[in-house]
Amino acid sequence: MIDSRYRERSKLKWSRGFLSSFLLTITLAYAFYFIPVPYYIYKPGTAEELKPMVKVENGDPEEKGAFMLTTVSMGRSSILSFVLAKLSPNTEIRKKEEVLRGSTEQEYSTRQEYVMLDSQSSSIQAAYKQANIPFRIDSQGVLVMQTIKEYPAYGILLPGDKILQVASKPVLKHEDIVNELKLHKAEEAVDVVVKRGKTEKTVSVTLKDLDAIDKEHGKNSAAGSAPASGGRIGFGISTAELLGITPERSDKKVTIDAGEIGGPSAGLLFSLEIYNQLTPGDLTKSYRIAGTGTIDPSGNVCSIGGIRQKIVAADREKADIFFAPVDRKMGECNLAADVPNASDAADQAKKIDSKMKVVPVATLEEAVRYLESLKPKA
């Protein structure tokens, strides 16, 4: 006969053991799925048609094919995603410090948003030049790119803020801030109007002698300041100017809305879509044309990252043609190392058995001439 008290103790021990195992499993699962590790995972993203993003006033709407930008999906790594990435042939793992380069995630995100806007300005200029349309360049605002802990604007102005006014004076370019700060002294509070997201907000920043702060902390000169007797007086922020491109003919105005997509690498494809709408005829000739590459205002196409992932994204969307930047040597396009974009793109297309044709280009004009030489797709 078994003592009932023994049975109760056994049940209690079993219950406690089960509960401990269950909690341990939950804890390990949480760590495996959610706790980040200091790596970023790059995976194939999307290939998105550009016509809905680009509008040219009175532009030629004919486009039987499509121009498509390509993206890379990037995210912080957990233990699970790190392991899965190691097993996937189409993913890339990068160390956090290599990606952020000393900036915060918010500063990195702001930088990606800005370089996308800057890329759009360059792509519009390049397309106008290719189509022989005169234009002018105007400053249209100042963006906060970085704030630093020891400086007065830290925690008050945020990366991504668009500065609209300083001390009630409109701000369109960086010099507007510098000129206004010359009129103020250290320890004086100055109102700053910013656009943060979709909301305008007024904040107050107490100006400081930045030279004194730099000397105390051993830092280099900061932006958002003006020279004054006794030192530079300012906020201590890093800024970038937003540019507007306006054609002499108002009926050729270009607007771009890329939504949440960031980075500079869609420049070439934006230029092709803009040029196609600016000029008569259909440059796509019924082909689905994907690609990547930064572009400067003169139409030079430079190297990008993640081209292997972009090849996969374009192939998934059944692209016929993929424009890739030519292989560049160190020093070209201000590169710190050789970047074999076209070679990597061709190699990746072969690895995934894609029928897509990879076309290396060094300029917008080369891409245009290539498409003009094609026969329409049957």
pTM: 0.84
Average pLDDT of the chain to the nearest whole number: 90
Rounded Cα–Cα distance for residues 239 and 75 (Å): 26
Please state, for a pLDDT cut of 90, what percent of the chain lies above it: 74
Structure tokens at 189: 């509070």
Indicate the range of 43-52, 257-266, 303-312 predicted with least confidence: 257-266
- The pLDDT of residue 264 is 93
Domain locations in the chain? 43-93+119-134+249-373, 138-242
118: CB partners within 8 A, 6+ apart? 240, 243, 264
Same fold, 43-93+119-134+249-373 and 138-242: no
Spatial distance between the Cα atoms of 303 and 307, rounded to a whole number of angstroms: 9
* Alpha-carbon dihedral sign for residues 14, 18, 19, 20: positive
The Cβ-side half-sphere exposure at 360, using a 13 Å CA radius, reads 13
43-93+119-134+249-373, what's its fold? Ribosomal Protein S5; domain 2 (3.30.230)
Nearest 10 degrees: CA dihedral of 164, 169, 175, 180?
Answer: -130
Output the pLDDT for position 1: 46
Residue 230 has a pLDDT of: 46
Contact present, 278 and 317 (Cβ < 8 Å): no
Residues 80 and 326: their CA atoms lie apart, in Å, by: 36
Output DSSP code: residue 149: T
| 51 or 87: which leads in pLDDT | 51
pLDDT of the residue at 232: 83
Question: In this structure, what are the phi and psi dihedrals at residue 327, rounded to the nearest 5 degrees?
Answer: -60, 130
At 241, give phi and psi (nearest 5°).
-90, 140
Among the listed residues 242, 240, 239, the one whose alpha carbon sits nearest the alpha carbon of residue 139: 242
Whether residue 106 is predicted with pLDDT greater than 60 in this model: the reply is yes
Q: What integer pLDDT is reported at residue 32 of this predicted model?
A: 62
The stretch 166-195 carries a mean pLDDT of 95
Decide if pLDDT at 271 tops 50: yes
Q: What is the DSSP track for 220-268?
A: PP-SSEEEETTEEEE--EEEEEEEEEEESSGGG-EEE--TT--SSTTHH
> What would the mean pLDDT of 68-85 be, rounded to a whole number?
89
Question: What 3-state class would DSSP assign to 199?
Answer: strand
Question: What phi-psi label fits residue 112: left (phi over 0), alpha (psi between -120 and 50 degrees) or beta?
Answer: alpha
- 91 vs 70: CA distance, rounded Å: 15
Give strand ranges (E) for the chain: 36-49, 54-56, 66-78, 92-95, 135-147, 162-166, 169-170, 189-196, 199-206, 208-209, 225-228, 231-234, 237-247, 254-256, 288-291, 294-295, 301-302, 321-325, 357-361
Whether the pLDDT of residue 229 is over 50: the answer is no
Model confidence at 129: pLDDT above 50? yes
Report, at the CATH architecture level, how domain 138-242 is classified.
Roll (2.30)
Q: Which of 92-101, 162-171, 298-307, 352-361 has the lowest mean pLDDT?
A: 92-101
Q: Is the pLDDT assigned to residue 207 strictly greater than 90? A: yes
Of 307, 349, 347, nearest to 324 by C-alpha is 307
- Catalytic amino acids? 265, 310
216 band by pLDDT with thresholds 50, 70 and 90? confident
pLDDT band at 184 (very low <50, low <70, confident <90, very high): very high
Task: Give SS3 for 19.
Answer: helix
Coil, strand or helix at 332: helix
Question: Which of the four pLDDT bands, split at 50, 70 and 90, describes residue 228?
Answer: very low
Among 170, 112, 144, residue whose Cα is nearest residue 234: 144
Q: Note whether 290 and 314 are within 8 A (CB).
A: yes
